[in-house]
Amino acid sequence: MRTLFFLTAFILGALLIIGSSGNFRTYTSERAAWINVVSGEDSYIAYRCIENPLIIDAGSSVEFVAVTVENKMNVPISVHITADFSNLPLGAVGSVEDTVKTLDPGEIAQFRGNIESAPSASGGPYEVPVTVYAEWDGGDAKIEACSINVMFSGGPTIEKELICGNTEVPTHTYQEWRFRIKVTNPGIARNLTIKDVVRGEFGIDSIAPSTGNYTVIQHGASHHIIWDVELDADETAYMDVTIHTKLNPAGKQEFTSCGDYSLNDGAEIVGYNITSNSITVHAICEGNDCSLDVTNTKVSGPNPLKANIPADYHTRISVENTGGAKTVVMKQYVGKHFTLTDYSPSKGSVTVEPVLTGGTMVTWTLHLSPGETADLDLYEHTSGIHVCGHLPRIVLLTSKIYVEDCGCTANPILVVVKKRCGCHSEVPDMGIDEYVSDNMESCDAQPEGTCPWMDGG
């Protein structure tokens, strides 16, 4: 009965002695527990162990005194301990001294432990059972001494906020934004590295950290910002970054199409698997989005054309939508020396209207999804074109293409007509292409809603 009584008192009597590194919070209290392990009133082993939770900051490590053992027997004893850390969360590991220590009567020994925490560890308490093993001449004991309760406090946090700039902007306009990356460091002092990426659509105007140092490394079109900062416990720091929309390689102002754009992905605390929120802006198409690639090509038909000879031509308007979804209205003039005999759109509707001065105005209306392409095939016929004088005559087959609200685009198609015979009707030495080029009109200074030769010329 005496042995059972003292064993019960021993198991119930675990209390705290903590030794630690200087980077964690500690609480201390202790109470002695005694156990009778052999016959005789003076034959005891005493131990003291941690009772209150051991609080560890995420991402740090801590060393502590797991158990203190005192030999109150009248013979030397050999003591060692074990601990089960399997209950700790993922990313946290621990160990205790595996040394066997020999204690003479009255001698005391400490057994230390260590726990390392990943930045992602959190919560608790988690129990770490500790067992004391003692051997002496003629006997041994296994003492289920106590459990260390371990808790993990939160690691650093990071957030991103937009200080100035619009979250809804029109396409093809210069825009600026300033955002702030804010880092808060609870618990312990830390050296942190923050990484953020500014995408290729943007240029960096300025970077202003409240503390620490930064570098900018270019990767392709994007820029990687690396911010190194040393923070005391519970300190906060921030870095302001100002960016703007750039011209793309084609010389067009970003954003070139409607939709959502991320100013950048979330900023990351390197090594902690912690990422901030990202900031998204929406590009809208005010009126008509002019993100279109339009071409005007001659599919078939002679060039040069002999004077007074009938001929058939096939031309094609092709359009690709490089922006957001939109309805497009395009107009093209078929020259007065040609008759539009037929047309075939891949989608949309077509109307044709005679022009008072001759020729035909073609209007093509269609709706395009982002990335969609469409074609309009036109078929023209001439009964023959007369040439006066000695030099070839340049006539318009189809004009530039006028895109409503966006202006004219693509090149016109011109036909060189030359006399069927005679020595004075040749194209000059410069050649047909250059001769035509010299006689092409510019789109500049055209009346609104028209392109060159849309007046029937």
Residue 265 within any structural domain of the chain: yes
Measured distance CA(163)–CA(240) in Å, rounded: 9
* Percent of the chain clearing pLDDT 70 (strictly above): 81
At 43 the pLDDT is: 41
The predicted model scores a pTM of 0.44
Question: CATH code at 94?
Answer: 2.60.40.10
Quick one: pLDDT at residue 289?
Answer: 66
Q: Which is nearest to 373 in space by CA: 303, 320, 312?
A: 320
Question: Do residues 162 and 128 share a domain?
Answer: no
Does 143 lie in the same domain as 8? Answer: yes
Domain identity same for 424 and 310: yes
> With 90 as the cut, is the pLDDT of residue 389 above it?
no
Query: What does the pLDDT average to over 289-305?
Result: 91
Please tell me whether residue 12 adopts helix, strand or coil conformation. helix
Shared-domain flag, residues 203 and 227:
yes
Label residue 427 by pLDDT band (50, 70, 90).
very low
Regarding whether 432 and 313 lie in a shared domain, the answer is yes
pLDDT bin (cut points 50, 70, 90) of residue 283 is: confident
Residues spanned by the domain of 369:
292-438
pLDDT at 58: 76
> Partners of 279 in the beta sheet?
264
- What is the structure's pLDDT at 271? 81
In a domain, 30, yes or no: yes
108, 124, 153 - which closes a domain: 153
pLDDT > 90: percent of the chain: 49
- Residue 454's pLDDT is 56
Q: Is residue 445 part of a domain?
A: no
pLDDT band of 304, cuts 50, 70, 90: very high
Residue 385 · residue 305 · CB < 8 Å:
yes
- Both 12 and 104 in one domain: the answer is yes
In a domain, 455, yes or no: no
pLDDT of 379 higher than 60: yes
Cα 457 from Cα 452, distance rounded (Å): 9
- Taking CA atoms, 137 is separated from 34, 99, 140, 141, 224, in Å, by 20, 19, 8, 12, 68
Sequence-separated (6 or more) residues with CB below 8 Å from residue 162? 177, 178, 179, 263, 279
In-domain check, residue 330: yes
Flag whether pLDDT at 292 surpasses 80: yes
Classified as helix, coil or strand, 312 is strand
Are residues 275 and 302 both part of a single domain?
Answer: no
pLDDT band at 450 (very low <50, low <70, confident <90, very high): low
Q: Give the total number of structural domains in the chain.
A: 3
456, part of any domain? no
pLDDT of residue 433: 47
Q: CB neighbours of 106 closer than 8 A, spacing ≥ 6?
A: 70, 71, 72
Q: Is the pLDDT of residue 269 over 60?
A: yes
The per-residue pLDDT for range 65-105, each reduced to its tens digit, is 999 999 998 899 999 999 999 999 888 899 999 999 999 99
Q: Tell me if 317 sits within 8 A of 401, measured CB to CB.
A: yes
Which CATH number belongs to the domain containing residue 222 in this structure?
2.60.40.740
How does pLDDT run across 130-183, given as a tens digit for each residue? 999 999 998 899 988 788 999 887 778 899 999 999 998 888 889 999 999 999
Helices assigned H by DSSP within 152-232? none
Residue 131 one-letter amino acid? T
